[in-house]
Structures are given as structure tokens and as C-alpha cells.
A = this chain, B = another copy of it.
Amino acid sequence: MSGWQPVRRTRAFEDVIAQIERRIAGDGLTVGDRLPGERQLAEQLRVSRSSVREAMRVLETLGVVSSQVGRGPDAGAFLISRPADALSDLLRLHLGLSSLSLEEVVDARLMIERWSASHAAVRGADLSAMTAALERMDAATTAEEFVEHDAAFHVAIAEASGNRLTTAMMLSLRDSLRRYAVEAVERLGDTAGLMADHRRIHRAIAGGDAAEASAAVEAHLRRAYPGISLPPGGERHGSGG
């Protein structure tokens, strides 16, 4: 006989999540709204508070809920939207488990940064954040300081692409690579090459040249991660067509 389904024991906290999710979809529940307290939710859903709390941990991990203790309008569980935080945790753990390789992560980052720079160029993005980050990098005296503003520069590019999902991906990818960033700067010895790359990227976006922006980003990342063998042909996406 076929068509059997494995008995799906639904755990209590999964039911809680499903019901909260349903209320997000159904009712107008949206970012900033407050959820009922754990005790109240437990009573309404006829589950124990522990199960409600496990559901909260999951939603918190996924970046859609945040909890504050205490009393008053700021206390309790709220709907938020922090996909990048969730993605960072995910990448960090899977990198640690070696279920994802550094090469794959760098490769994905290259994909997203090229895409972001291209889009930023085409959209005619606001360059002020990038410009400010460039100036701060020039003034930096330590590798840590440089890396901090370098991150701001790349984040500005991602945000200029106008896509919050790819921006979140880019943020989390860079976050999971941060430990390699400082050592990369220290290994290179000086930041002149990196800064030249940055200016080239900045110039290309300012000039609206998507192809040049994309190529500049690729050159920059190849310089920053010389040990990573990026796949051949990376510079040919969509060329000509």
C-alpha cells in the first residue's frame, strides 16, 4: 500500500509558532506590534509557558521577535525585522561546522557585491555614505579601525542597491568573514591597494557604469582574499547576451 504519511507529531511550540504566524498573515500584525505576554499566550493556546518560550526562542532566532523584561509599554515581546542577524548566526554556525567552506562564502559574497555595485550604479544611488566611509578609512590608523570603515563602505553599496534581502545577505556574509578581514589587512601590510580599489568602485558607481563597478568589486575582493580560488569566468556574467 502506498500514500502513507509518516505520523507528523507536531510539537507544542510548533503549533504556537504556526498560530502566531497565522495572526501575522491574517490580522494586520506587523513590525512594532506587541505580542501577548508569555503567561497569557500559554493560557490562550492551552499550552505550558515553556512551550510558548521555546516558540519565542525560535522566532527570536529567525529575527522576527525581540523580548524585553520589565514592565511598561516597552516590555514584552515585539515583532521586529532583523533578517541579517539571523543570517549571520546561520552562516557562522555552518562555517564552524565546515558544512560551508570559506571559498563558498567568499564566492557568494562576490556575487552579491558585484550585483549590488551594478545596481547602485544603474540606480544613480546616493553616494554620501560611501564618500564619508572613504574619508574615514583614509584617516584610520589601525587595521581594526580601517576594517570598521571598510565595512561601512561595503554596507553603503549594498544599501544603495535598494534591495533589503540582498543587503541582509551581504551584511551577514561580511559579518561571518570579519575575523578574516583584519588579518587580511595586516597581511597586505598597507592599504593603498585596497583604497585604490575603493576609489575605483566609487568612481564607477558615481559615473553610472555598472560593468566597471562590477569589475572593480571583483578586483577588490580578489586582492582581499588572494588565497581563495574564485571560480573562473566570474567576470563574464551576462556579458554581451
Contact = CB atoms under 8 A, between A and B. Distances in A.
A22 to B, nearest CB: 9
A115 B123 contact: no
A91 to B, nearest CB: 8
Interface stretch (A129-137, A146-154, A161-169, A191-199): A161-169
Interface string A77-92: 0010101001101110
Contacts of A21: 93, 96
Given A231-B123, A238-B235, A94 B63 contact: yes
Contacts of A25: 96
Nearest to A166: B108
Contact of A237 (B57, B123, B169, B210): B210
A62 B90 contact: yes
Contacts of A108: 163, 165-166, 169
Interface in A87-141: 87, 89-91, 93-94, 96-101, 104-105, 107-108, 111-112, 114-115, 118-119, 122-123
A101 B54 CA distance: 28
Majority-rule SS of A interface residues = helix
Contacts of A66: none
A231 B96 contact: no
Given A165-B105, A165-B108, A212-B241, A86 B97 contact: no
Contacts of A31: 97-99
A236 B91 CA distance: 29
Interface string A210-241: 11101100100000000000011101111111
A30 B95 CA distance: 11
Given A81-B94, A90-B90, 7 more contacts: A31-B97, A58-B60, A59-B93, A81-B99, A83-B99, A122-B236, A239-B239
Contact of A64 (B62, B63, B94, B164): B94
B89 A233 contact: no
Nearest to A173: B165
